[in-house]
């Protein structure tokens, strides 16, 4: 999957660096320990069609070589179908080598919780 933002192509590839960047954005502290919750938090926010998580993901995808800045990403998102883009990003997270196991587990846990209600 690629995103074309004003003629600049951003490859949607969840590398270790991209996952680490998301972990820094979505960090939880508990008893002095810090835990990166980037992928799991991103999944929850994507399911809520939150445009901020899309911006954060696009920034994280560029961790090794920035092509598009925050204001340009935000302006681009204003013209996008956020629901569709969120669903596409969820699908992509579920396909990629470094994230598919996490997404599978998180979806399984969510289904189990929903079933208990």
pLDDT of 60 reads: 97
**Is the pTM higher than 0.85?**
yes
pLDDT of 111 reads: 87
Question: Per-residue DSSP letters for 39-51?
Answer: HHHHHHHHHTT-H
Q: Where are the domains of the chain?
A: 2-116
Helices (H), 10-50: 16-25, 38-47
Distance CA 112, CA 116 (A): 6
pLDDT of 83 reads: 98
Q: What is the pLDDT along the chain (117 residues), one digit of tens a residue?
A: 999 999 999 999 999 999 999 999 999 988 888 889 999 999 999 999 999 999 999 999 999 888 999 999 999 999 999 999 999 999 999 999 999 999 999 999 988 888 887
């Amino acid at each position: 999957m690629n995103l074309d933002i004003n003629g600049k192509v951003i490859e949607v590839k969840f590398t270790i660096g991209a996952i680490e960047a998301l972990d820094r954005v979505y960090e939880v502290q508990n008893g002095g320990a810090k835990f990166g919750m980037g992928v799991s938090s991103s999944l929850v926010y994507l399911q809520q069609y939150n445009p901020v998580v899309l911006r954060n993901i696009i920034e994280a995808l560029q961790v090794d070589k920035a092509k598009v800045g925050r204001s340009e990403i935000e302006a681009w998102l204003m013209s996008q179908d956020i629901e569709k883009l969120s669903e596409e990003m969820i699908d992509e997270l579920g396909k990629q080598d470094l994230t598919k196991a996490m997404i599978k587990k998180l979806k399984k846990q969510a289904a189990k919780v929903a079933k208990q209600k």
